[in-house]
Amino acid sequence: MIEELLRDREWLLADGATGTNLFEMGLAAGAAPELWNADHPDRIRRLHQDFVDAGADIILTNSFGCNRRRLAMHGSADRTHELNLLAACNARAVADAAGRRVVVAGSVGPTGELMAPFGPLTEDEAVDVFAEQIDALREGGADLVWIETMSALEEMRAAATAAARVGMACTITASFDTRGCTMMGVSPAAMTRTVGAFAPAPHGIGCNCGVGASDLLCSVLAMTEAAPEAVVIAKANCGIPQATDEGLTYSGTPVLMAEYARLAVDAGARIVGGCCGTTPAHVLAMRRALDSHARRDRPDLTRIEQAIGPLVSPPAKPGGARRRPA
């Protein structure tokens, strides 16, 4: 469905945050957002509706941590199928009533465990974990699988393999939050080359979350340079996270996120959205900015930093500390 829409459109707008917006709606710190698919479906659907009203073309299901391994931390592993099914049904109901084509993307986040040989989870086990989740998302009406916030190539491959086993297309995004790489040392260019060679190939690759919009845009530049024909996804946090007495807040204003969206398209991204801290108000500003945007020259780091602020975690310079080979 994404491929069909992109035949006629230069870009698509994805939604914003799930977790941080649910905290504003009453979710307690430390609670599992996925339980709200059953306990408060009205609030989940309201958030989806707010993003659709703001102009989102793609909405992500409330299922980021809805795999058996993560749900076990909340004593709900036996509810994996039920909660994923409800997550997809809640988003599907809003999308079907939108009066325009809205893609329901089944959010699949990491298991929360390190992959072998660095941790106990084997790739085959991870495939089974993800397949269980994805099968329920498919049953609930998800259009594709949105694999996100990954750090290890092995886990990305396991999730993509699970999607293929269930018969669903997928997109894959990583979080490049450690000096321009993922926590496991994977660079944007290496992720692009490796994931792009998966069979079947994902319908989109990119980056989400991270440490700030400027850093994420640098990752987008690296990915679009490595694979100019790829559908690249940019889903940045709403500015920079800041710890305050009232909890974690984000520095991004609607004006900043609007300029981030323009720069993402200029950098070659085809799908643009927001991650942590991004509200429907931010998405509305992004939609209005993109609707009136004429694509400009490809930005460089100087232009990015002048527009939306300096890098938070700049990539290591040549000759600096070595990372795990990607």
Residue at 119 is within a domain: yes
pLDDT band of 248, cuts 50, 70, 90: confident
Lowest mean per-residue pLDDT among 166-180, 189-203, 308-322: 308-322
Q: What is the mean pLDDT of the chain?
A: 94
pLDDT band of 318, cuts 50, 70, 90: low
Residue at 320 is within a domain: no
Residue corresponding to tokens 């992004």: 286
Residue at 69 is within a domain: yes
Residue at 42 is within a domain: yes
Angle at 186 between CA 264 and CA 236, to 5 degrees: 25
Sign of CA dihedral 295, 298, 303, 308: positive
Q: Which tens digit of pLDDT belongs to each residue from 249-273?
A: 898 999 999 999 999 999 999 999 9
**How many domains are there within the chain?**
1
In the chain, the percentage of residues whose pLDDT exceeds 90 is: 88
- Check whether 9 has a pLDDT greater than 90: yes
Q: Could you tell me which of 204, 281, 316 has the C-alpha nearest to residue 16?
A: 281
Tokens of 97: 């009533």
44, 60 in Cβ contact below 8 A? no
State the Cα–Cα distance between residues 115 and 100, nearest whole angstrom.
40
Tokens of 289: 């900015």
Whole domain around residue 25: which residue ranges?
2-308
Beta-bridged to residue 178, according to DSSP, are 181
Residue corresponding to tokens 């994977």: 186
Beta-bridged to residue 103, according to DSSP, are 58
Residue at 316 is within a domain: no
Confidence at residue 319, expressed as pLDDT on a 0 to 100 scale:
42
The DSSP result for 102-156, as a single string, is -EEEEEE---SSPBTTTSSB-HHHHHHHHHHHHHHHHHHT-SEEEEEEE--HHHH
165: CATH: 3.20.20.330
Residues 6+ positions from 299 with CB-CB distance below 8 Å: 217, 221, 263, 266, 267, 307
Residue at 61 is within a domain: yes
Q: Could you tell me which of 293, 313, 311, 294 has the C-alpha nearest to residue 302?
A: 311
Residue at 96 is within a domain: yes
- Check whether 324 has a pLDDT greater than 70: no
Q: Which tens digit of pLDDT belongs to each residue from 80-118?
A: 999 999 999 999 999 999 999 999 999 999 999 998 898
Pair type for strands 241-244 and 247-250: antiparallel
Q: What global pTM score does this model have?
A: 0.95
Q: Could you tell me which of 103, 121, 210, 104 has the C-alpha nearest to residue 157?
A: 121
Q: Which tens digit of pLDDT belongs to each residue from 128-152?
A: 999 999 999 999 999 999 999 999 9
DSSP tag of 199 = S
State the Cα–Cα distance between residues 98 and 95, nearest whole angstrom.
5
Residue at 313 is within a domain: no
Residues 6+ positions from 140 with CB-CB distance below 8 Å: 61, 84, 85, 86, 87, 88, 89, 92
